[in-house]
Amino acid sequence: MNIQYSINNNDIITEVNTDFIEFGKENAQGKFVPETWIGVDLFTSMVDFHSRFLHQLMLQRVRVRRKTLRYRYRCDSPNIARFMIMNIIPEGRNAVKYENIVEDVVLMPNVFQFQFLSGSEVKRCSFCNSMYVNGNWYDPVHFNGKRAVNLVHYVEYTVCDTCFKRLE
């Protein structure tokens, strides 16, 4: 699968491909409407400050250097771990094309069916999906099948130190 979308010089999504639409449908469980993505600011789809900031830095690097930036990351859905490569490709007039290539898919039943003790500080890396719980980063597999007493209702999306350093 090669998920592609393009943005103009104002970061507005101008084009998406068929794989983008299929990927969106898989992840949104039927609630995805591809037509609503054309004309949308790329950064409105990013939930947390850290992810937006990191993407803005990557986009700036591509636009200034006029060279493709390649970045490996992980994109999970409830039962699937996807290992992907993102290529951010400069095009004319500061427009940019994103290619997100799925390298590997691993079925992981119930990976996100875990619970944390209430009061736990829970963060999730937007790039590698590591979970930050009580002062440590863990792969989500670490929590597979584990249960605690109370569910944390809020998970803060961020970028872990490892992913952030990979771009320095």
Query: Which fold would CATH assign to domain 2-109?
Result: Beta-Lactamase (3.30.450)
Residue 108 has pLDDT above 70, yes or no: no
Q: Calculate what percentage of the chain has a pLDDT beyond 90.
A: 27
Write down the pTM of the prediction: 0.70
What would the pLDDT profile of 3-36 be if each residue is shown by its tens digit? 999 999 999 999 999 888 888 777 665 555 666 7
Grouping H, G, I as helix, E, B as strand and the rest as coil, residue 122 is strand
Confidence (pLDDT) at 73:
84
- On whether the CB atoms of residues 87 and 96 are closer than 8 A, the answer is no
Residue 146 has pLDDT above 70, yes or no: no
CA separation for the pair 16, 125 (Å, rounded) = 25
Lowest mean pLDDT among 15-19, 43-47, 115-119, 124-128: 115-119
CA separation for the pair 12, 42 (Å, rounded) = 6
**In the structure encoding, which two tokens stand for residue 61, read together?**
């690097």
Neighbours of 70 (CB within 10 A): 12
E strands present in 91-142: 96-107, 122-125, 131-133, 136-138
Kindly report the average pLDDT of the chain as a whole number.
Answer: 78
What would the pLDDT profile of 70-90 be if each residue is shown by its tens digit? 988 888 766 677 889 999 999
Q: What is the CA radius of gyration of the chain?
A: 17
CA separation for the pair 64, 97 (Å, rounded) = 15
Listed in order, the ranges of the chain carrying CATH 3.30.450.20 are 2-109
Name the amino acid, one letter, at 15.
Answer: E
Confidence (pLDDT) at 117:
47
Closest CA to 74 of 8, 124, 40: 124
- On whether the CB atoms of residues 159 and 126 are closer than 8 A, the answer is yes
Lowest mean pLDDT among 50-59, 105-114, 159-168: 105-114
